[in-house]
Amino acid sequence: MSIALLYERSETDELGIKQTAEQLGIKLEFIPFRKIALAFCKDGYSFRTKGKDYTDIIKNVGVVLNRAQSKNRRLFASHIMETFGKKTINPSSIEFECYSKLRTMLHFWAWGVPIPKTVYVPCDAVDITRDGREIHNEPDIADLLQDELALDEGIVVKPDAGTHGKGIILAKNREELVANIQATKSSITNPVGILAQELVKKWFYDLRIIVYKEKGKNPVCHPSALARGGFKDFRTNTYLGNLVFDAALPVYVKELAVKCGRALSKDHEAYVLALDAMINVGDNKTLDDEALKQELNKADAAFESVKKIKKDETKLRDFPSWNNRLEAAFQAYKLSEPYLRVKGIIEDSIEKNKTNVVFHEANSCPEFWEHTRLTAGINVAVPLLKGAESLIQS
């Protein structure tokens, strides 16, 4: 029985998984999940591209690492593979929970994990009647949100199934709130209603925390988080051009992260999750924002050489040498004084405000090769592959 990597496009994460498998001496099969035809009928199933038949390969696979990029396709992929008798990382039930921020937070809440106060209104901004009239629900939805969340503190409206911070919008007055509700669009991925949250007063950074589990072992929280920071926007995720730092996690936060893993995975034996968390620092800041901005500007300058290599087009053509250059650039960035100073500020602020941590999302297929691996120091390909091995060895 072998392990397979199922993917849509081979990006640095997938190439990284491949390289890590080679280094660990693990044989990996590859299953494309784009231009393929999956056929099934009373005689069985087949799985083919125009040029190649993958059916026999799949029959011999025991565990599938599911790296399909879109949440919907990933859910399909894990269901298909599980129906064929394969184990998957992550299993479809975990994919299902992670697909939706609402579902994820409900589970966190039920397990006693702190979350930002969240309000769900199962009604779209606009209804269209049978005779084509528009019924505007924005004012009523805004009233319902305002009854639960303090508007002058800020209300964040977010798509239930978004990524990269898209569609996450902040309102601080009634006009903005109604406009933000109006801007929401229901779709196949975000089918019904409005999801809103209190604005967490998180200073300039948020956290990405990795938890994983192998069969027969307890879940583990990696001791360092990836802290994403900047003052560009209230959204601090890396996609929006923010800087990255590593930050040691207090035991209290690590234990909560493990609880998040348990909340989403139930009794699944192996999984890998990237949790998003924020620290509600409030006014408990150790440095004024202007001084901090100067430090961040200096860190930004030190990060320039990393950015240049990240953009380099040779990365997919000559992955090993590009990767060596990326590693060297990250090493230099991490040793730079501004980096170390900002890292110190973040760690100090996490330690002082650890009991104000909130968890708000879990990602079942995180990007990891560039930032998480080289700042937080965890190659997520390792727990993925070891988790897969642990499922086969039983």
Ligand X SMILES: Nc1ncnc2c1ncn2[C@@H]1O[C@H](COP(=O)(O)OP(=O)(O)OP(=O)(O)O)[C@@H](O)[C@H]1O
Q: Give the binding site for ligand X (CB under 6 A).
A: 116, 156, 158, 162-166, 168, 197, 199-200, 202, 206, 234-237, 239, 276, 360-361
The tokens for 173 are 């007055």
Helix (H) or strand (E) holding 262: helix 251-265
When the beta carbons of 29 and 300 are compared against ligand X, the nearer one is 300
Q: How many CB atoms lie under 10 A from the CB of residue 360?
A: 21
118: burial class by Cβ within 10 Å (0-12, 13-18, 19+)? buried
Q: Which does 370 bind (CB under 5 to 8 A by kind): Mg ion, ligand X, none?
A: none
Total residues binding Mg ion (CB under 5 A)? 2
Q: Which stretch binds Mg ion (CB under 5 A): 31-39, 166-174, 271-279, 318-326?
A: 271-279
Q: Which does 199 bind (CB under 5 to 8 A by kind): ligand X, Mg ion, none?
A: ligand X
DSSP 54: -
Q: Smallest distance, Å, CB 276 to Mg ion?
A: 4
When the beta carbons of 32 and 165 are compared against ligand X, the nearer one is 165
Q: Smallest distance, Å, CB 168 to Mg ion?
A: 9
Query: Using CA atoms, how far apart are residues 313 and 198, in angstroms rounded to an integer?
Result: 41
If one asks whether residue 160 binds Mg ion (CB under 5 A), the answer comes out as: no
When the beta carbons of 274 and 385 are compared against ligand X, the nearer one is 274
Whether 67 contacts 364, CB under 8 Å: no
Q: Smallest distance, Å, CB 235 to ligand X?
A: 3
Q: Which does 239 bind (CB under 5 to 8 A by kind): Mg ion, ligand X, none?
A: ligand X
Whether 295 contacts 336, CB under 8 Å: no
18: burial class by Cβ within 10 Å (0-12, 13-18, 19+)? middle
Q: How many CB atoms lie under 10 A from the CB of residue 21?
A: 20
Contacts (CB under 5 A) with Mg ion, residues 336-365: 361
Would you tell me which residues interact with Mg ion (CB under 5 A)?
A: 276, 361
